[in-house]
Amino acid sequence: MNSFDCNCWYGRPPRPPFRYAATPEQLLAQMDRCGVGAAVTYHINQRFGAPAVYDPVALVELQPHPRLLPVRTLMPPQTGELPPPETLLTELRRDEVRAVRAFPNEHRYRLDGLTFGPHLEMLAAHHIPLMITADCLAIGDLLRDHPKLTVIAMSQGPHSLERYLRPMLDRYPNLILETSGLLVEGLIEEYVSRYGAERLVFGSGYPDNAAGGAWLRLQHAEVSEADRQAIAAGNLHRLLTWDGQPLPGIAPSTCDAAEQSSVVREYVEDGRSHTCPMIDMHGHWANFPGAYLPVADEAKMLAAMDRCGVRTIVCSSHEALFGDFTRGNQIMQAAIHRFTGRILGYWAVNPHYEASWKQAPSDYDRANGFIGFKLLPDYHTYPLDGAAYAAVLAHADAHGLCVMIHTWGGSAYNSPQHVERIAQRYPNARLLMGHAGYGDWITSAALARDFPNIYLDLTAVYAAHDFTMLPAGSGTPSALGSSLHVNGVIERFVDIASPKKILLGTDLPWYSPHYAAGAVLFAHLDDEARHDILHRNAEFLITASRVKTDHRKRSQPGVA
Ligand SMILES: [Zn+2]
């Protein structure tokens, strides 16, 4: 796959991720590692610093590198920060800048016809692509004013925004999506069949998102080779040749990580590995009310697992967490029986119902194929160290069971600090920090280092969660904190907590296993650490929980 990345940056922002490219040379090295041939890129301080300073800086710094193409930042003309349309066009041609990029939140303006009317007419008339980092409702308002604009909507995710986006995609044929935000499994395939491959362009999201995730996702999307190549490079190449000026072709890129590791090579070539399968410790089951999930149907979910080489997934039922806990746990139990060995469960607990939390230990003992409990304090707005969770935690402590806990940095209900308090009280319960205390990375990693019973689950750690991109927030009753860049978190966890304390998770039927695998595989780790994270640590925990199944003589589910 020759890939042409339309969403990556270099430079030193005010709040950097753990790993990033400070210079264009470092960005090129990173692209070589991850199979990216060329990129439309920007200096991060065109976003967070002053564009008046950094637009020219980026032009000068990128000029010696034909694989890296600059962008111009859109600013309001009324403040003297953007020249008249004809001058802008002349400058774009002079500087060989082929796309304009808008950050209306960071630069605090309304991206609409009132502010930019004549400029937007000029961009539309010349088919100059406008790349926008903003929530999709703002993009919809813009397109209502200027329906002929060529708009590339960047980073639309990581949640599924389909219920907002599809009406817009139906109406505006020049609206194109960049892929780094499309973490939800099945979206790329549905877009291609509904709209055609020409509506997607590849973006890595590096280093806002973990390097390699978006690339491996596209590399193994279930689309034709012609469609894959169009999304990877061809569409962007066509969009950037608006002025009739030829643009050199995208050379096949190297993929240094695959040359250095047989595990990476297997995933890159085959999309799966027999020696290093995935075991997913954080899944869910069936539909979710607040988002359209293409693979929520069980046959599609199992097919996605097969395609990505996910041997076993441990799920909690969406119904049990967001609807009726009794019905939901029954649905989970039935699924475990239908797919013995592929699907295991967490018994979901709702702290607001005595019939849930008080009976959970005995319900658990009667059930089959569960390895512990699932707690969702943020969504139930009930603190992890509250009294209603005590019976469940004590039961997990007595029997060495897993407890998969939704955690988030700064939360009033399930912060890393809450986890620390219960880790001391229940030293034999295996506490799996779902989402690894998202955002409060160092505190979470230190807990996993200091407490033998705390583990870090990587679900959602693969991508920036910028809640300003989600029109109705995350779905939690109380707001969660954003993290704008995550690249390097996995490596930092390994350094602080050891690879033995890190677990693969995807929230499937939410996030793509290939996106998750790419993030782990392209992180700067050795193959031993990749084996630990992708399957070995999960095998240990599943075995240690002494999971009961209906078929006692079968080999232990999930054990390689
Ligand atoms: Zn989850």
pLDDT digits (tens, 9 = 90+) for 204-227: 999 999 999 999 999 999 999 999
In the predicted model, what is the mean pLDDT of residues 492-499?
Answer: 98
Separation of CA 539 and ligand 1 centre (Å): 20
Entry pTM: 0.96
Answer whether residue 4 shows pLDDT above 50. Answer: yes
pLDDT digits (tens, 9 = 90+) for 342-391: 999 999 999 999 999 999 999 999 999 999 999 999 999 999 999 999 99
How far is ligand 1, taken at its centre, from the CA of residue 23, in Å? 36
Mean model confidence pLDDT for the chain:
95
Of 247-251, 264-268, 385-389, 517-521, the one with minimum mean pLDDT is 247-251
Q: How far apart are the CA of 283 and the centre of ligand 1, in A?
A: 6
Tokens 């699907």, residue?
A: 343
272 CA from centroid of ligand 1 (Å): 23
- Residue 19 has phi, psi (to 5 degrees) of -130, 135
Q: Is the pLDDT of residue 556 over 70?
A: no
Ligand 1 centroid, distance to 511 Cα (angstroms)? 10
In this structure, the number of other CB atoms found within 10 A of the CB of residue 71 comes to 25
pLDDT in tens, 39-72: 999 999 999 999 999 999 999 999 999 999 999 9
The set of residues, in sequence order, having a beta carbon less than 8 Å from that of 334 and lying 6+ positions away, is none
- The alpha carbon of 182 and the centre of ligand 1 are apart by a number of angstroms equal to 17
Give CA–CA dist 254/258, Å, rounded: 9
Distance 321 CA to ligand 1 centre (A): 10
| For residue 551, pLDDT beyond 50 | no
Measure the CA–CA gap between 193 and 189, rounded to whole angstroms: 6
Q: Flag the least confident range among 89-103, 211-225, 238-252.
A: 238-252
Whether 421 contacts 414, CB under 8 Å: no
Rounded to whole angstroms, the Cα distance separating 322 from 329 reads 12
In this structure, which amino acid lies at residue 205? G
Measured between alpha carbons, how far is 432 from 177 in angstroms, rounded to an integer? 34
* C-alpha 240 to ligand 1 mean position (Å): 39
Chain centroid offset of residue 263 CA: 22
d(C-alpha 132, C-alpha 144), whole Å: 15
Centre of ligand 1 to C-alpha 338, Å, is: 22
Give the Å distance between the CA of 507 and the centre of ligand 1.
5
Residue 555 banded pLDDT, cuts 50, 70, 90: very low
CA of 431 to the centre of ligand 1 (A): 15
Q: How far is the CA of 287 from the centre of ligand 1 (A)?
A: 13
At 550, the pLDDT band (50, 70, 90 cuts) reads: low
pLDDT tens-digit readout, 112-168: 999 999 999 999 999 999 999 999 999 999 999 999 999 999 999 999 999 999 999
Give the Å distance between the CA of 315 and the centre of ligand 1: 9
532 CA from centroid of ligand 1 (Å): 21
Average pLDDT over residues 101-109: 97
- How remote is the CA of residue 392 from the centroid of ligand 1, in Å? 19
Contacts of 375 (CB under 8 A, 6+ apart): 349, 351, 384, 389, 392, 403, 404, 405, 406, 414
* Confidence at residue 560, expressed as pLDDT on a 0 to 100 scale: 35
Distance from the alpha carbon of residue 290 to the mean position of ligand 1, in angstroms: 13
In the reported structure, the alpha carbon of residue 313 is separated from the centroid of ligand 1 by a whole-number distance in angstroms of: 12
Q: Which pLDDT band, with edges at 50, 70 and 90, does 1 fall under?
A: confident
Q: Are 153 and 176 in contact (CB under 8 A)?
A: yes
Cα 509 to ligand 1 centroid, rounded to whole Å: 10
Are 128 and 242 in contact by the 8 Å Cβ rule? The answer is yes
User: Cα(377) to centroid of ligand 1, in Å?
Assistant: 12
Q: How far apart are the first and last CA of the chain?
A: 31
Residues across the chain:
560
| Span from the CA of 303 to the centroid of ligand 1 (angstroms) | 20
User: Separation of 480 CA from ligand 1 center, angstroms?
Assistant: 15
Tally DSSP H helices, then E strands, for the chain: 27, 17
Which residues have a beta carbon within 5 Å of ligand 1, which is an ion? Answer: 507
* CA–centroid distance, residue 408 to ligand 1 (Å): 12
CB 540 within 8 Å of CB 281: no
Query: Ligand 1 centre and the CA of 168: distance in Å?
Result: 29
For the residues 499-520, what does the mean pLDDT come to?
98
Calculate how far, in angstroms, residue 555's C-alpha sits from the geometric centre of ligand 1: 27
Could you tell me if 418 and 404 are in contact, meaning their C-beta atoms sit under 8 angstroms apart? no
CB of 2 closer than 8 Å to CB of 229: yes
Identify each DSSP E strand in 385-544 by its residue range.
402-408, 430-438, 454-457, 502-503
**388 Cα–ligand 1 center, Å:** 20
Ligand 1 centroid–CA 282 distance in Å is 6
- Measured in Å, residue 335 CA sits from the centre of ligand 1 at 17
Give the distance, in angstroms, between the CA of residue 499 and the centroid of all CA atoms in the same chain.
21
Å from CA of 459 to ligand 1 middle: 8
